[in-house]
Amino acid sequence: MSVCSGTEPLVGLSRRGFLARLGLGLGSAALTHLLNRDALGTTPADRGILGHPHAAPKAKRVIYLFQAGAPSQIDLFDHKPLLKEWQGRELPASVRRGQRLTAMSGNQTSLPLVGSPYAFAQHGRSGAWLSELLPHTAELADDLCFVKTLYTEAINHGPAVTFMQTGSQFPGRPGMGAWLSYGLGSANDNLPSFVVLVTKDKGGQPLVSRLWGSGFLSSRHQGVRFRSGKDPVLYLTNPMGLNRQDRRNMLDHLKALHEIQLEKTPDPEIEARIAQYELAFRMQRSIPEVADFSSEPESVLKAYGEDVRKPGTYAANCLLARRLAERGVRFIQLYHQGWDHHGSLPKALPKQCRETDQASAALVQDLKQRGMLDDTLVVWGGEFGRTNYCQGKLTAKNFGRDHHPKCFTIWMAGGGVKPGISYGQTDDFGYNITEKGVHVHDFQATLLHLLGIDHERLNYKFQGRRFRLTDVHGRVVKDILA
């Protein structure tokens, strides 16, 4: 949804530019495609504001597996044996350095350290450390790039997720997928270029549709949320009693009337409308088709796990993401909620991992087998990390961890990222970064770089200034590029 409108700069006064500027929506690809098919061959002609990337892209598309609520890096990736030795002892002031805490644990009189109860081991030739909670991910260790030193500025979920996805803690900026749609346009004729998939029935910290909104960009760049169930896209299905042929009949006559009108008023807006109606009609077929797994072999379904058979689960969304990627969707954003483990972490974390580990790994593996991993960037991660100390009461069997913005781990795979490395180092307490910190804006700059975009040169003028995903910051983390 758009918070408000902005104006896009004119892209020229040619017919193509003129049409593009009319806000043709998702179908601008289709329309210009139709108009230019003879002249330009079969490549969709909506190339976005940039026309073509600044540099040859390593990644052509992104699948972002967002783990909302902030998974505990200490129990999954960032192995800190020292914490076990210090179990129950106070977080030393020399480590905390007066850093602010949330109002939730800020009033605790004691901040007892707590080590991870899960066994860690090194995996693959790269020797990446992973906890026993992620056995499937561990098998792929040599394909993944673990960034252990991401850090952020926000301490609460709402601002932090917004920051991670839009580069600002405040609502109103476009999300990554919207920036890409704006910059690079669409790569397919029948589907939106930015699709959002949220695991069904998870609850927890809220997700807000502004995260995939277009902010001040035209709303045609906003993410289109696919839902599980009979209407994967809002209002996709014809009303009861109306079949596809009936809809075609209605459209044919609507088109005839539009053409009469076009003769009287040669308004390109009418042409655009005709094209959008046709695209809508095609989407009525293409979207159910992409959401239908019946053509997937049993071996693939098995690889993603049993959940894949239930629409709306994380596993099903991972497979759907691959199918969308195959069909030219540029940015596929998954959300899986439920990682906010302030208390009862030992009970809740293993469950979260069971829901996500196998399918995440299967997705990477599946892409690899199809030769798509080379130009598909997969990202796995949340909005911040969790504390090395216990929130609430530390008992022999139970503990929780509060929000920790100073360091957390994400992994990336494919799309021009160096496989089989762990990047960055945190201190032995897992509290501060000791070397190679990666700010959220650095991560965003790197992501854009992989897509062939100079993050400083994809911008948009709104309310008197040029905005970009990385605000006025960000540097590409060259060390992790393949």
Partner 1 sequence: MLWLGVIHCVVWFPLSLVIAEEVEPAFNRDILPILSGNCFACHGRDAHARKADLRLDLEQAAKAERDGEAAILPGEPEGSALYRRISSKKASFVMPPPESNKSLTPDEIKLIALWIEAGAPWEDHWSFTPVTRPALPGVAQTQWPANPVDDFILERLEREGLRPSPAENKITLLRRVTFDLTGLPPSLEEMDAFLADVSPQAFERVVDRLLASTRYGEHMGRYWLDAVRYGDTHGLHLDNYREIWPYRDWVIRAFNENKPFDAFVIEQLAGDLLPDPSRDQLIATGHNRCNVTTNEGGSITEEVYVRNVVDRVVTLGTVYMGLTLDCTRCHDHKFDPLTMDDFYSLFAYFNSIDGKPLDGNRKDHAPILKIPDAHQAEQLAEYDARVGQLTKRMREPWPTIDALQETWEADLVRKEQAEESGGDAQKEDGSLVLGDWYVVGPFYDNRRYLNSRKHGPEGRPVRLDETFTLATEEIVRWKKRPDWKDGKVHSDLPGQTAANFLYRTITSPQAQKVEVSLGSDDGIIVYLNEKRVLSNNVSRGVAPDQEKLQLPLKAGTNHLLMKIMNYGGATGFYFALTSGETTIPEDVLAIAMADRAQRDPEAQAKLVEFFRSKVAVSDELEAVRSELTSVREKRAEVDRGIPTTLIWREATEQKPAYKLNRGEYDQKGDEVARRTPVFLAAMDANAPNDRLGLARWLVDPNHPLTARVTVNRLWQQLMGTGLVKTAEDFGSQGERPSHPQLLDWLAAEFMAGGWDVKAMMKLLVTSSTYRQSSVLSPALIERDPDNRLLARGPRFRLDAEMLRDQALCLSGLMSEKMGGPSVKPPQPDGLWFSVGYSGSNTVRFVADKEHDQVHRRSVYTFIKRTSPPPQMSTFDGPSREASCVRRERTNTPLQALLLFNDPQYVEAARALAERVLASGGDTVGARAGYLFRLCTGRFPDSEELADLISGLEQDLTTFRADPASAAALVGGDASASETDTDAGELAAWTMSANLMLNLDEVIMKN
Judged by beta carbon, residue 247 or residue 323, the one nearer partner 1 is 247
Min separation Cβ 463 and partner 1, Å:
5
**Distance between CA atoms of residues 33 and 27, nearest Å:** 9
The one-letter amino acid code at 138 reads A
User: CB-hemisphere CA count at 13 Å for 189?
Assistant: 17
> What one-character DSSP code corresponds to residue 14?
S
Query: Tokens for 121?
Result: 């081991």
Window 238 to 257, contacts with partner 1 (CB under 8 A): 238-243, 245-247, 249-250, 252-254, 256-257
Using the rule CB under 8 A, is 401 a contact of partner 1?
no
Window 436 to 465, contacts with partner 1 (CB under 8 A): 456-457, 459, 461, 463-465
Closest CA to 126 of 422, 379, 435, 482: 422
**Distance between CA atoms of residues 223 and 333, nearest Å:** 9
> What one-character DSSP code corresponds to residue 294?
G
Q: Is the dihedral of CA 154, 157, 161, 166 positive or negative?
A: negative
- Rg over alpha carbons for the chain, rounded to the nearest Å, is 24
Judged by beta carbon, residue 265 or residue 295, the one nearer partner 1 is 265
Angle between helix 176-184 and helix 440-450 axes, rounded to 10 deg: 30
Is the separation of the CB atoms in 337 and 205 below 8 Å? yes
Rule CB under 8 A: choose which of 135, 168, 227, 327 binds partner 1: 227
Min separation Cβ 462 and partner 1, Å:
9
The one-letter amino acid code at 119 reads A
Min separation Cβ 189 and partner 1, Å:
11
Judged by beta carbon, residue 245 or residue 294, the one nearer partner 1 is 245
User: CB-hemisphere CA count at 13 Å for 275?
Assistant: 23
Using the rule CB under 8 A, is 350 a contact of partner 1?
no
Query: Tokens for 481?
Result: 């590029």
Using the rule CB under 8 A, is 156 a contact of partner 1?
yes
**Distance between CA atoms of residues 324 and 232, nearest Å:** 13
Min separation Cβ 418 and partner 1, Å:
27
Judged by beta carbon, residue 11 or residue 433, the one nearer partner 1 is 11
Window 328 to 347, contacts with partner 1 (CB under 8 A): 342-343
Window 205 to 224, contacts with partner 1 (CB under 8 A): 205-210, 213, 218-220, 224
414 vs 332, 373, 421, 450, 452, CA distance in Å?
15, 5, 12, 10, 14
Rule CB under 8 A: choose which of 36, 126, 168, 284 binds partner 1: 284
Q: 4: how many CB neighbours lie within 10 A of its CB?
A: 9
Is the separation of the CB atoms in 72 and 206 below 8 Å? no
Closest CA to 353 of 341, 368, 365: 341
Using the rule CB under 8 A, is 373 a contact of partner 1?
no
Judged by beta carbon, residue 265 or residue 299, the one nearer partner 1 is 265
Using the rule CB under 8 A, is 195 a contact of partner 1?
no
Judged by beta carbon, residue 148 or residue 273, the one nearer partner 1 is 273
Using the rule CB under 8 A, is 13 a contact of partner 1?
yes
Judged by beta carbon, residue 224 or residue 332, the one nearer partner 1 is 224
Min separation Cβ 13 and partner 1, Å:
7
Using the rule CB under 8 A, is 265 a contact of partner 1?
yes
Window 303 to 322, contacts with partner 1 (CB under 8 A): none
Site string for partner 1, 82-121 (x = CB under 8 A): --------------------xxxxxx--------------
Using the rule CB under 8 A, is 396 a contact of partner 1?
no
Judged by beta carbon, residue 305 or residue 400, the one nearer partner 1 is 400
> What one-character DSSP code corresponds to residue 470?
T
CA diameter of the chain: 82
Using the rule CB under 8 A, is 6 a contact of partner 1?
yes
- CA 55, distance to chain mean position in Å, is 22
Rule CB under 8 A: choose which of 39, 56, 260, 396 binds partner 1: 260
Using the rule CB under 8 A, is 25 a contact of partner 1?
yes
Judged by beta carbon, residue 278 or residue 296, the one nearer partner 1 is 278
**Distance between CA atoms of residues 474 and 446, nearest Å:** 8
234 vs 55, 139, 286, 287, CA distance in Å?
36, 38, 14, 11
Rule CB under 8 A: choose which of 36, 261, 425, 432 binds partner 1: 261
**Distance between CA atoms of residues 178 and 169, nearest Å:** 17
Min separation Cβ 250 and partner 1, Å:
5
Using the rule CB under 8 A, is 470 a contact of partner 1?
no
Q: 204: how many CB neighbours lie within 10 A of its CB?
A: 14
**Distance between CA atoms of residues 424 and 146, nearest Å:** 9
Beta-bridge partners for 460:
467
Rule CB under 8 A: choose which of 40, 55, 121, 234 binds partner 1: 234
Min separation Cβ 233 and partner 1, Å:
7
Tell me which stretch binds partner 1 (CB under 8 A): 60-68, 72-80, 82-90, 271-279: 271-279
Q: How many residues bind partner 1 (CB under 8 A)?
A: 102
Judged by beta carbon, residue 124 or residue 171, the one nearer partner 1 is 171
